[in-house]
Every structure is written in structure tokens, then in C-alpha cells.
Structure 1
Amino acid sequence: MQIKSKVWLSKNNKLVFGIGKAMILKSIQKAGSINKAARELNMSYRHAWSYIKSAEKRLGKPLVICTKGGVNGGSTTLTPYAKNLLKKFFNLESRVKLFADKVYKETF
């Protein structure tokens, strides 16, 4: 047996930010584009965009900066707030998993 844990942030009992949104932002950070990030995660651009907009609305802060097309196409970067949120979220997730593993080993 093993323990599984899942971390997400909620506000007024509504999901604000979890692993799905974190993976989208992480992929955008790596790819520099929502479209490329969505393809990497096997989801549509529209789905990825709606995840981002939903999180921005609930957080009350922008997460991405989009630059429109041109010769090389558009690009998307994370806001400083989003970079910090991502760092804190993955740190929290890691610490929660370590704690859950520790308590599990003590209990079983």
C-alpha cells in the first residue's frame, strides 16, 4: 500500500489552482506559447485558455502576457505573479507529499 495526496487551492469552495493549471503554466513557461503548451499537454488551445482565464478571474490577477503575432508568430510569457505562484505551488505540493509519506509510515 501507499498513500496518495493531491493539492489544490480553493476559494469559496471553488477550485482556484491545482496541478492541471500548474502544468499548463509550466508548459507555457517552457514553450513560450499557449498553443505549443496545449499541444504538449494533448489539449486544445481553447481548453488551455479557459483554464488560464478561470484561474485569473478567481485569483484576481493576470497570469500570462500574450504578444500578438508578427513574422515569428505570437508569444506568451508568465507574469511575475504566475512564476511565483508556480514556484510556491510546487514547493507546497512537494512538502505535503513528504509530510503525508512520513505520517503514513508512522501509522502503517
Structure 2
Amino acid sequence: MNVDSRLWITKDSKSYLGAGRIELLERIKESGSISKAAKQMKMSYKAAWDSIDIANKLAVPNPLVISNAGGGKDSGTRLTPEGQKAIDTFRSLQALKNDFFSYLDGAKDFDELSERIQKLSERLKNS
């Protein structure tokens, strides 16, 4: 048996950051464009913009990305330091979650799985 889970961060009872939004932030960082990031993820520009807009509103007063319109050399979208912190923190949490659940993987039945859970619980209580 294997145990699987998904990770997301909520803020003010709203979905703030999950794997998809983190990937979108990473692609914006690489491309400097919401449009290019959306195309890479096979999503509409509107869906990508809405996702970033929600995240930025939840991140007030420190937006995750900043857009500069106008078509000049300074136009485009860039990740802010807060956006990079969001990516780094999410990836660290994801690695920790994966390590945690990998300990549970391979249990032959619910008895063994329950035993592993109990051992983990005791370790956490004693640390």
C-alpha cells in the first residue's frame, strides 16, 4: 500500500497556493510573461491571470508577481521576492510531505500501516 496526498496552502479560508499555482509562478519567472506561462501549461490567459490575481490579493501587501504593461523593454511580468519565497517554501513543504509519506509506503496491510503511523506519532511527540 502507498499513501498519497496533495498539498495546498490556504489563507483567509481561501485556496492560496497549490501545485498548479506554484508551477504557474515558476513559469512566469522563467518566461517573464503570464501569457507564455499559460500557453506552456495549456491554460487560457484569463485562467492564469485570474489565478495570479487571486494569489496577489491574498498576498497583500506583498504581491507575488508584478506586471508592467506597455510593450516596451520594461513590459512583462516578474516574480517578486515574496513570490520566490512562496515557491521555495511550498517546495520545501512538498519535500517534507513526500519524506513523511514515503515512510508509510509499502505497508502490506492496515495493521502495518497503523503501526508505522503510531511510530511516527511517538517520534513527533518526543521531539
TM-score by length of structure 2 reads 0.75
Larger Rg: 2
Corresponding residue number in structure 1 for 2:76: 75
Q: 2: distance between equivalents of 1:84 and 1:73? A: 23
Identity rate, percent? 33
Deviation digits for residues 62-89 of structure 1 (CA, Å, limit 9, x no counterpart): 1111122335683111010001111110
Summarize the alignment of residues 57-96 of structure 1 with structure 2, pairs less than 5 Å apart: 57-60=57-60, 61-71=62-72, 74-96=75-97
Give unmatched runs, 5+ long, in structure 2. Answer: 114-127
Displacement, 1:9? 0.5
Q: 2: distance between equivalents of 1:28 and 1:93? A: 20
Q: CA RMSD in A?
A: 1.9
Displacement, 1:55? 1.2
The total of aligned residue pairs comes to 108
Summarize the alignment of residues 3-82 of structure 1 with structure 2, pairs less than 5 Å apart: 3-60=3-60, 61-71=62-72, 74-82=75-83
Q: Which amino acid aligns with 1:82?
A: G
Q: Is the 8 A contact 1:64 1:77 kept in 2?
A: yes
